[in-house]
Amino acid sequence: MGKQKDEYNKIISVDIDESNLPLPSHEALQERKVAIFDLLTENFFRPIITEDYPNNIGPYKLLIYIKDQLLVFKISNKEDILIREIILSTSPIRKVLKEYKEICASYYNAVKRLAPSQIETIDMGRKAIHDEGGKILIERFTRKAEMDLQTARRLFTLITAIYFESKK
């Protein structure tokens, strides 16, 4: 089955379990909402599940949380039946998460005070790190779920927002 974009191979809902997170700031909440909106607007996502597994047809709902330096993705179908849980260590992406957060801060500061050409240079670096984060996620989801780069980038943005909330 190829990577066809259809009504079944997509995420239709994203929730974040905040029980292990501090109370988010207004900015963190806004960043999270935008990341979820962007992810839900357009995505390709297909968990890899044995064909004979009941209720394995999407679209899918995600519940994401961080526990003990692990990213947990609980994937359910639209009837809220859990069909797969994916657990990833944050170690392989920690460096890129940190770089992305730092360059985003530089970008937002630059927008306030630098010339457009300087902002563009920082933005190109930001996009490159964002792409790198997306590619790492695709790699980390190998044999667990398929997604395109755009979906992985959007998921990376959301993970960044959640991860840095968990560090407070």
Mapping DSSP onto H, E and C, the string for 136-162 reads: HHHHHCCCCEEECHHHHHHHHHHHHHH
Q: How far apart (Å, rounded) are the C-alpha atoms in residues 83 and 67? A: 20
Q: Which residues of the chain have pLDDT under 50?
A: 1-4
Q: How far apart (Å, rounded) are the C-alpha atoms in residues 132 and 101? A: 13
Cα 128 from chain centroid (whole Å): 16
Q: What pLDDT, on the 0 to 100 scale, is given for residue 121?
A: 86
pLDDT in tens, 32-79: 898 899 999 999 999 988 766 666 778 999 999 988 889 999 999 999
Q: What pLDDT, on the 0 to 100 scale, is given for residue 1?
A: 41
